[in-house]
């Protein structure tokens, strides 16, 4: 009998190299929000994304989104278009700067920003005399959004795109890495993400000046002077050298983690392909390459979703409904929404399944037993 320890949706998975970098930080007394690991982690990420990209390591993905809005000059009273189906951290920073979110539905294939609903929103807001200041697109669960269509709209209406790639490091679209599509892009290294620094994030830009400006704002906006001199409001958003050490170790295993998450996805896809009416989130065609950060399935009904979730829970296996769309959240429901019921339907019938890169064969056996007795007995 295998042990009945809890199986988590997605838990931190150390590669082994992390402690070496953290130890170096201790040995050299770089226990600070700057230092060789911060620079090293940024260099590693730049090498991974392509050296034409500039990376600023920050304290969280949320901080990176806040800085992205500030760097684009989004101010109080401005409007920002945002994918509704996402984690709240995609939308909260819009409120930090006093701007107004306008939420957009998803399409059925990638579950991300629907280009048709996006264009309807753009036309309507512009007709109302309020051109949005930015568009926030998310690659949900690692699945790239329909970037060709979305970039074309960003260009057509001259509105910059912020790419929330918090869940999609290791994914790509038409051969280009997620995290490199936006006027500004962000990554997250929170504990449950594909790689972690315990907590952390990054801003990605193709412009070194923008990176320098991001770091300036992230380190309390200190002017050049022997004393502490400030002409602007600053933030304490830089990544610590300890966290960056964990990140450097994690970069050594990123590709391996992506391969393992994709294997978990294949396990679920093989099973649910046999179940009438269910659909695992999968790559629509060869243009899409997902890190499959989380595997997720849409079931026949809300009732079936809940019954399956509880069947897993009874066996100490964590699953979770899909992200509840922002336009249905009490904190955001007063804001405008464009689209239909795609995101709402996905939320009603969808379930995220255990997807960690550290799942063992016996974990998969336990998961399979629940699935088989639920669907095939
Ligand atoms: C995790 C996440 C964030 C926020 O990242 P943190 O590092 O936790 O602040 C933002 N957007 C999405 C889609 C996320 O999944």
Q: How far is 83 from 181, CA to CA, in rounded Å?
A: 16
Identify whether residues 180 and 53 lie together within a single domain.
yes
Kindly provide the residue ranges of all beta strands, DSSP E only, lying in the chain, ordered along the sequence: 54-58, 79-83, 100-104, 134-138, 161-164, 172-173, 176-177, 184-188, 201-205, 279-280, 288-289, 295-298, 320-321, 337-338, 350-353
pLDDT in tens, 275-328: 999 999 999 999 999 999 999 999 999 999 999 999 999 999 999 999 999 999
Atom of ligand 1 at shortest range from CA of 189: 7
| DSSP state for residue 239 in the 8-state scheme | P
User: Which of 230, 251, 272 marks a domain boundary?
Assistant: 251
pLDDT, position 15:
85
pLDDT at position 267 is 98
Query: Which residue range(s) make up the domain with 179?
Result: 18-251
Length of the chain: 377
Instruction: Give the pLDDT band of residue 167 (cuts 50, 70, 90).
Output: very high
Please work out, in degrees rounded to the nearest 5, the angle formed at the alpha carbon of residue 183 by the alpha carbons of 182 and 186.
55
pLDDT on residue 3: 55
Collapse the DSSP code of 305 into the 3-class scheme (helix H, G, I; strand E, B; otherwise coil) and give the result.
helix
Closest Cα to atom 5 of ligand 1: 61
172, part of any domain? yes
Residues 6+ apart with CB under 8 A from 207: 54
Which domain-ending residue is among 236, 251, 266? 251
pLDDT band, very low/low/confident/very high, at 16 (cuts 50, 70, 90): confident
Q: What pLDDT, in 10s, does the model give residues 113-142?
A: 999 999 999 999 999 999 999 999 999 999
- Measured from the Cα of 89, ligand 1's closest atom is 10
With a 6 Å cutoff on the Cβ, whether 87 touches ligand 1 is yes
Contacts of 348 (CB under 8 A, 6+ apart): 302, 305
98 token code pair = 């006093």
- Asked if residue 185 has its Cβ within 6 Å of ligand 1, the reply is no
Give the model's pLDDT for residue 376.
87
Residues 320 and 196 in one domain: no
> Do 167 and 294 contact (CB within 8 A), yes or no?
yes
Residues 258 and 364 in one domain: yes
* CATH of residue 76: 3.40.640.10
301 part of a folded domain: yes
Q: Is 193 one of the annotated active-site residues of the chain?
A: yes
- 1 pLDDT more than 70: no
DSSP state of 322: P
Please report the pLDDT score of residue 146 as a whole number: 98
Number of Cβ within 10 Å of residue 260's Cβ equals 19
Q: For the residues 167-174, what does the mean pLDDT come to?
A: 98
The domain spanning residue 285 has which CATH number? 3.90.1150.10
Residue 7 covered by a domain: no
Q: What is the pLDDT of residue 287?
A: 98
Asked if residue 188 and residue 295 are part of one domain, the reply reads no
Q: What percentage of residues in the chain have a pLDDT greater than 70?
A: 99
Statement to judge: residues 230 and 259 lie in one domain: no
pLDDT at 345 > cutoff 60: yes
> What mean pLDDT is reported for the chain?
96
Q: Are residues 64 and 47 in the same domain?
A: yes
On the question of pLDDT at 171 being above 50, the answer is yes
> pLDDT tier at 343 (50, 70, 90 boundaries)?
very high
What number of CA atoms fall less than 13 Å from residue 73's CA on the CB side?
4
What total number of domains does the chain contain? 2
Whether 12 is covered by a domain: the verdict is no
């Amino acid at each position: 009998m295998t042990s009945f320890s809890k199986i988590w949706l997605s838990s931190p998975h150390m590669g082994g190299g992390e402690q070496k970098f953290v130890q170096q930080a201790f040995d050299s007394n770089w226990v600070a929000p700057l230092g060789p690991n911060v620079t090293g982690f940024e260099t590693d990420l730049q090498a991974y994304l392509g050296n034409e990209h500039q990376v600023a390591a920050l304290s969280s993905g949320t901080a990176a989104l806040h800085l992205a809005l500030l760097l684009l000059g989004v101010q109080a009273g401005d409007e920002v278009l945002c994918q509704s189906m996402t984690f709240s951290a995609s939308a909260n920073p819009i409120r930090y700067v006093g701007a107004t979110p306008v939420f957009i539905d998803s399409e059925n294939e990638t579950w991300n920003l629907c280009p048709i609903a996006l264009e309807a929103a753009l036309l309507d807001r512009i007709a109302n005399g309020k051109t949005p200041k930015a568009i926030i697109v998310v690659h949900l669960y690692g699945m790239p959004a329909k970037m060709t269509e979305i970039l074309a709209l960003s260009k057509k209406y001259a509105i910059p795109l912020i790419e929330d790639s918090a869940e999609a490091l290791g994914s790509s679209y038409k051969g280009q890495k997620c995290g490199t599509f936006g006027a500004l892009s962000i990554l997250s290294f929170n504990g449950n993400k594909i790689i972690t620094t315990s907590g952390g994030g990054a801003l990605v830009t193709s412009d070194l000046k923008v990176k320098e400006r991001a770091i300036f704002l992230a380190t309390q906006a200190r002017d050049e002077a022997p004393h502490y001199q400030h002409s602007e409001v600053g933030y304490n958003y830089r990544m610590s050298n300890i966290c960056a050490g964990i990140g450097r170790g994690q970069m050594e295993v990123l590709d391996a983690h992506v391969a393992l998450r994709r294997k978990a996805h294949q396990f679920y896809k093989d099973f649910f392909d046999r179940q009438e009416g269910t659909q695992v989130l999968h790559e629509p065609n060869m243009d899409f390459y997902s890190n499959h950060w989380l595997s997720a399935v849409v079931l026949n009904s809300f009732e079936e979703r809940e019954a399956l979730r509880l069947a897993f829970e009874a066996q100490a296996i964590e699953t979770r409904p899909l992200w509840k769309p922002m336009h249905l959240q009490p904190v955001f429901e007063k804001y405008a929404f464009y689209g239909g019921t795609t995101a709402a339907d996905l939320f009603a019938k969808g379930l995220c399944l255990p997807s960690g890169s550290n799942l063992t064969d016996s974990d998969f056996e336990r998961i399979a037993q629940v699935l088989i007795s639920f669907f095939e007995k």
